[in-house]
Amino acid sequence: MHINRNTFMQAGFLSKAGLMAMVCFVLLASGTVTAQNTSFKTIGEQFDQHRKTALQEKLYLHIDRPVYACGETMWFKLYNADGTLHKPLDMSKVAYVEVLDDAQQAVLQAKVALKEGTGNGSFILPVTLKSGNYKVRAYTNWMKNFSPEFYFEQPVTIVNTFQQPEAPEKPVAAGYTIQFFPEGGNMVAGVANKVAFKAINQKTGKGIDFTGELHDQYGTKIADFKPYKFGMGHFTFTPTKGATYTAIVKLTADRGFTKPLPAVLEKGYALQLTESDADHLKITLNQIGQQGEKVYLLGHTRQMVAVAEVATLNQGQATFIVDKKALADGITHFTVFNTQQLPVAERLYFKQPTHNLELHVTPDKPQYNTREKVTLDLLANADNATSTANLSMAVYRLDSLQGTTESNIESYFWLTSDLKGTIENPAYYFSALGKTDFAAIDNLMLTHGWNRFKWEEVLNKEPAAYSFLPEYNGHLVTGRVTRKSTGAPAPGIITYLGSPGKHIRFYNARSDANGAIQFEVKDFFGEKDIVVQSNFTKDSTYHFEINSPFSDKYSSNKVAAFDLSETLQSELTLRHVQMQVKQAYFGNYTNLFKSAGVDSIAFYGKPSESYLLDDYKRFKVMEEVMREYVPGVQVRRRGGNFRFMVFDRPHKSIFQDNPMVLLDGVPVFNIDKIMAFDPLKVKKLDVVASLYFNGPLVYNGVVSYTTYTGDLAGFELDPRALMQAYEGLQLQREFYAPAYETTEQKHSRLADLRNLLHWAPDLKAVTGKGKQVNFYTSDQTGTYLIVVQGLTENGVMGSKAVTFSVKQPVM
């Protein structure tokens, strides 16, 4: 049986507990347990097994504004949730955020720490960026195992007001296209087929308005059709065996194009979903050319099974009645399997969420003067249940460049994250009007597919192998060890990673069969140097390389063509002035960062002995330092080379082999080199006088030197070691906005033309209990938008947008 993969919408996961009970109930209700029924049970078991090994994360970013000028700061809040229940998920501790240009090249990248499923960060947009449309994307290391189509993505516009806009070489004519999606997957001859369509302007990605006619191969008009909303709609007709059909799309009286419909199958399965009544769905399966075959319906919403039923084709038709109450909120995927366990038809159905986080945002006044305090009353309610909502708030000026955004946390979790392709104005479906626009949402379900997995992967009995691990405890630095002479992988090589600094962190790893190495680093914030090496006193020469942790796969979603109208020149000038004034008067506050809360204790904990060398007589030779006041370490010579022998205090003996020697956290395997180092550059010396277990290795004690500067103080590393700059987790920049509490502050001559009045990424609200949020207006008059959105600990989400105006005070 042929299934059109472009229109066959594959999807879903099973719940942990409901599958077997549901399937067994269906089998018993059918009266017989046949080999075919057992096959259906096998499908469910394999589906459940796939679910257990393919936990899905969903990342959402609340980005403060849709439009920026170079030099401004882009702020964002991250929400990480379980893909099934949408509850905050404390699995991944790192998120990767990138800004991509229209060629899908990263122009900005950051690693952002996540804690209990949330995090926040920022980008200062450099003046080297070109004006254009960009997209911000975010994902975790675990999400890299799956399609990049399901990374978070949101378009933003960045305008470089320091550069003249680049004039296009020649005007680009808008191209138009239309796609057809037969309900269930295929058009089958002899039965009524509902065919959905989506027509867009390829330049903007937006739906278009048109009139259309369906013609057969003889030019006979079969049906008229036109879009309902956003370029989408559907029509129903009964195709004839052997016929071909063409759509004639008319944009204007003298302009249009044609597009053939998918081929008509002589034999196949045609699926129809209709409303049986207010509480039930009717799913009808028609099959031409087959009688008495058992077919199976599996309905699954994300990772939860809602329906599992069996039926027998009677005169080529089988009917399933589905109780809507059995369906979870959101998108349910109805998949029909034939007796051979092959998926033959699929249909998406959307159930409007019944559990919402209601956010009430009430300014104390509808209109404010410049430099006036704004007090917001914020109240969150969630089904009369008490829970804590984690919220973020942005307040920015509406103008000709930027308006309200077309997406929010609700539309992302319920729609965008579960559908393939670009959805125009997804927030519409959760507006007061959109919630009851059943025709629009059904057209969306008919024209968008899902492929977080393929059925071949689910039905494959071999467990899936994943290349990327979840970052449970911290950032994973990965790399590779090869033989320098041949470039071949070097397996089984103990490799060490150190990062020079005052906070001593040190890691080791053994390369696998492919030479891959992996270090789980702790408290790794900001830009640092890292040193990767092996013990060159024992190993031959190897080559080390560190991988980029950012994904090298990209979605098929393109940003819309950038077109800056000359009528926006005044707004561009204003944005340029706003940014320049902000830099001139408040630039000192741009790089204020919150403390990362880094643990200052070295990785080895409290040492057995610790020496602040300034407390002792300073010697100019390291040998004298070690011999005179470090009793836990004996200095010996063997074969003309220095050796350290650490006392094993618990066993009252002496280790015969060298301990692990560190300088600012970097291993030094040549004791002669550390003995030649200037001790006047060393501030502190720690000794661990016992066996120390570090990962797979055991050290005969640890001797750790810390310099005053924490940067190796000129110590020369082995030339075979790899030393490179590495960007760690992003430090959290603090949002600054001036306050005008006093008369003196209000009359300050420092201009304040902020476009973004307020950014609060970490608002906490207990549902049912109000709280207040305060900020001040700037000198810029106009209409401002307050956007609040967030997620409760129980997975209930919501958003709210409210406006207020600012005017000059009357003198």
The reply to whether 710 falls in a domain is: no
pLDDT for the residue numbered 47: 65
C-alpha span between 424 and 443 (Å, rounded): 12
Domain containing residue 506: 476-546
pLDDT of residue 800 exceeding 70, the answer is yes
Closest CA to 108 of 781, 805, 730, 719: 730
Q: How buried is residue 515: exposed, middle or buried, by Cβ count under 10 Å (0-12/13-18/19+)?
A: buried
pLDDT band at 164; cut points 50, 70, 90: confident
Q: Spell out where 525-670 has E strands.
A: 527-533, 542-546, 609-612, 633-638, 641-648, 653-654, 660-663, 666-667
With contact defined as beta carbons under 8 Å apart, do 126 and 99 qualify?
Answer: no
State pLDDT tens for residues 212-268: 999 999 999 999 999 999 999 999 999 999 999 999 999 988 899 999 999 999 988
The reply to whether 650 falls in a domain is: no
The secondary structure of residue 732, as a DSSP letter, is P
Closest CA to 480 of 511, 513, 520, 519: 511
Cα separations (Å) of 392 from 77, 152, 387? 7, 17, 16
C-alpha span between 745 and 809 (Å, rounded): 16
The reply to whether 529 falls in a domain is: yes
Domain total in the chain: 1
State pLDDT tens for residues 465-523: 789 999 999 999 999 999 998 999 999 999 999 999 888 889 999 999 999 999 999 88
Average the pLDDT over 533-544 and give the result.
88
pLDDT for the residue numbered 368: 97
The secondary structure of residue 371, as a DSSP letter, is T
C-alpha span between 134 and 498 (Å, rounded): 36
Q: How many CB atoms lie within 10 A of CB 425?
A: 16
C-alpha span between 433 and 436 (Å, rounded): 6
pLDDT for the residue numbered 35: 43
The reply to whether 320 falls in a domain is: no
Cα separations (Å) of 104 from 71, 101, 137, 156, 452? 22, 5, 10, 13, 21
Tokens of 515: 């030479």
Judged by average pLDDT, the poorest of 446-450, 617-621, 754-758 is 446-450
One-letter amino acid of 626: M
Residue 360 β-bridge partners: 379
Tell how far CA 66 is from the center of its chain.
Answer: 18
Largest Cα–Cα separation, the chain: 104
C-alpha span between 570 and 566 (Å, rounded): 9
One-letter amino acid of 500: P
Tokens of 204: 């903007």
Closest CA to 609 of 688, 705, 505: 688
| Measured CA angle at 742 (ends 738, 744), to 5 deg | 90
With contact defined as beta carbons under 8 Å apart, do 100 and 134 qualify?
Answer: yes
Judged by average pLDDT, the poorest of 334-338, 340-344, 738-742 is 340-344
The reply to whether 29 falls in a domain is: no
C-alpha span between 266 and 271 (Å, rounded): 15
State pLDDT tens for residues 566-601: 778 888 888 889 888 888 888 888 888 888 888 888
pLDDT for the residue numbered 306: 84
Phi, psi of 301 (to 5 degrees): -115, 110
The reply to whether 492 falls in a domain is: yes
Tokens of 36: 């075919």
State pLDDT tens for residues 720-747: 999 999 999 999 999 999 999 999 999 9
Residue 362 β-bridge partners: 377
Half-sphere CA count of 380, side-chain side, radius 13 A:
29
pLDDT for the residue numbered 43: 64
C-alpha span between 534 and 669 (Å, rounded): 9
Interacting residues of 592 by C-beta distance below 8 A, sequence separation 6+: 733, 734, 736
Q: Out of 11-20, 105-114, 689-698, give the one with best mean pLDDT.
A: 105-114
C-alpha span between 145 and 54 (Å, rounded): 9
What is residue 40's three-state secondary structure? helix
With contact defined as beta carbons under 8 Å apart, do 195 and 182 qualify?
Answer: yes
pLDDT of residue 318 exceeding 50, the answer is yes
pLDDT for the residue numbered 39: 62
The secondary structure of residue 526, as a DSSP letter, is S
The reply to whether 348 falls in a domain is: no
**pTM recorded for the entire structure:** 0.90
pLDDT band at 50; cut points 50, 70, 90: low
What is residue 27's three-state secondary structure? helix
